[in-house]
Structure 1
Amino acid sequence: MMPLLTTKGLSRNFGGLRAVDNVDFTLMPGEVRAVIGPNGAGKTTFVSLVSGRIQPSSGTIVFDGADITGLPAYARVRLGIAYTFQLTSVFANLTAYDNVALPVQLTLSDRRSKGAVDAGVMAALERTGLADRARMPAGQLSYGHQRLLEVAMGLALTPRLLILDEPTQGLSDSEIDNFIGLVREIAKNATVLLIEHNMPVVMQLADRITVFNAGKILAEGTPEAIRKNAAVQEAYLGTAP
């Protein structure tokens, strides 16, 4: 099976700081991959390079066999790469419905079909548990629900690769349980790349884990292998969870 995503020698410098340092990375179709590591390890910079929000200083990014290194973010969205931000980026003055309608319209050949837009919006809101808040202004939603709204906006793009950056931040325990079920459902039809600090969530969801430290990949493996990895424990986990 051909990888869905690969990076070769991927690096990004900010002045004298190398935030991502010569990273070789492979992601297979249908995989749920967690990216973990201490603050400042380069995780968000790495997924920002993959999504096209920032350009690399060097290296290449290949998606489904095509070199996308020079493509802007909007072109990567059209190829099927959706990214939810570490900090909420919803349109506060629009309703939850209208926030999701914007990406739904990008996926439709006939953007004027109200029935198709409505079906796409409500399907995404129902999957994230927000259907009953469809008409609320997004700015009036709790922080946790704004995070889920971002996931709904990503799902509305029907992505092949969904990148989630700290998605459980601000969620209650019951919402986290629902989110775990949601990601498992998403993974039936898409590949998921997940940055997450909540280690119980990581250990439950991930097929494999990639550990970043100081801009480089420190370790990769199954949750069990990462749990037992002495270098990972020293750099990030402290003690095995």
Structure 2
Amino acid sequence: MAPVAAMTALLDVRNLTRSFGGIKAVDSVNFTLQQGEIRALIGPNGAGKTTFVSLICGRVPVEQGTILFNGKDITRLPAHKRVRAGIAYTFQITSIFANLTVRENVELAGMREGHDGSAALAVLKQVGLDHLAEQKAGDLAYGHQRLVEIAMGLGLHPRLLILDEPTQGLSEEEVAAFIALIREIARNTTVLLIEHNMHVVMELAQRITVMQQGRILAEGTPEEIRNDADVQRAYLGA
């Protein structure tokens, strides 16, 4: 994989702000994500991480600031058009269709957003679920349900895949498989990962962005973040 410095910016956010009840959940954030990068977004609960990515994907309207994706201003673009532009977002809590088969979940996710759902089996093979394609999604173990959701995102053929707490509730073995999967996905897709599991963050991320109270506290390589005194005090428990 090419060094981050040689990559082209895919996402460029400037002065992004969003308030709820007078409290700034996201406060004048500037953020750049490079094409082909795996970036981790970390911070304590309430830091504004999920609101931030919800602004990027259009689930929450922007109060102030601009969002450029692939060089185009998408600040006011509806969420479904951002999906078609190449942004896929999987949720912190699984949002599969429990009564549909695994294959139907992936096909439906694509068809709802104007994509061809016929490649579902190829996507399921990529995440290791092709052997469960005809099983009801609601009957799967929790870890497999999380993989179905990732497959639903990949079925949209995104340029940017945003994952919100994807390893929550997974076993150690499932976490190890997830790390390998994301490395494979990142060959063709830029990944933005909200994650509390610091082992996953340090294993996967090329760069880490740390949020605190709606602002960016620090950014850097895993080694830089591990050694940052402000981050240690605010988040890593030192």
TM-score, length-scaled by structure 1: 0.93
**Aligned with 1:56: secondary structure?**
coil
Provide the rounded CA distance (Å) in 2 between the counterparts of 1:171 and 1:133: 18
**Structure 2 counterpart of 1:62:** 68
What's the counterpart of residue 18 of structure 2?
Answer: 12
Aligned-residue offset at 1:17: 1.4
Q: Distance in 2 between matches of 1:142 and 1:231?
A: 39
Q: Structure 1, residues 177-233: CA drift from partner, whole Å, max 9, x if none? A: 111111111111110000000100100100000000000000000000000001001
Q: Percent identity?
A: 63
Aligned-partner SS, 2:9: coil
Aligned counterpart, 2:174: 175
Q: 1:124 offset after TM fit, Å?
A: 1.3
For 1:131 and 1:91, the matched residues in 2 are separated by: 17
Deviation for aligned residue 1:137: 1.5
> What SS does the corresponding residue of 1:107 show, helix, strand or coil?
coil
Residues 49-91 of structure 1, C-alpha deviations (whole Å, 9 max, x = no match): 0011111111110001100000011000101000000111111
- What SS does structure 1 have at the residue aligned with 2:120? helix
In structure 1, the residue corresponding to 2:125 is in which secondary structure?
helix
User: Once the two structures are superposed, what CA deviation does each residue of 1:143-166 show, in whole Å capped at 9, x if it has no partner?
Assistant: 221111100000111110000001
Q: CA RMSD in A?
A: 1.1
> Match of 2:222?
223
Aligned residues, how many? 230
Please give the residue correspondences for 1:125-164 in structure 2 after superposition, counting only pairs within 5 Å: 125-164=124-163
SS at match of 2:124: helix
Query: Which SS does the other structure have where 1:22 is aligned?
Result: strand
1:98 offset after TM fit, Å? 0.5
Q: Distance in 2 between matches of 1:30 and 1:224?
A: 20
Q: Runs (4+) of structure 1 moved beyond 2 Å?
A: 103-108
- Name the SS for the 2:18 alignment partner: strand
Paired with 2:23 and 2:98, the residues of 1 have a C-alpha distance of 34
Match of 1:40 among 38, 41, 46: 46
Q: Does 1:52 align with 2:52?
A: no
Corresponding residue of 1:191? 190
Q: Which residue of 1 aligns with 2:3?
A: none
What is the Cα deviation at residue 125 of structure 1?
1.1
The amino acid that maps onto 2:12 is: T
Is 1:107 aligned with 2:115?
A: yes
Q: 1:145 touches 1:171 (CA, 8 Å); kept in 2?
A: no
For 2:18 and 2:105, locate their aligned partners in 1 and report how far apart those are by CA, in whole Å. 31
Report how far residue 95 of structure 1 moved. 1.1
The answer to whether the Cα contact below 8 Å between 1:49 and 1:55 also exists between their aligned partners in 2 is yes
Q: Who is 1:114 aligned against?
A: none
Unaligned runs of at least 5 residues, structure 2: 1-6
1:73 corresponds to 2:79: yes
Distance 1:185 1:30 in 2: 12
Partner of 1:124 in structure 2?
Answer: 123
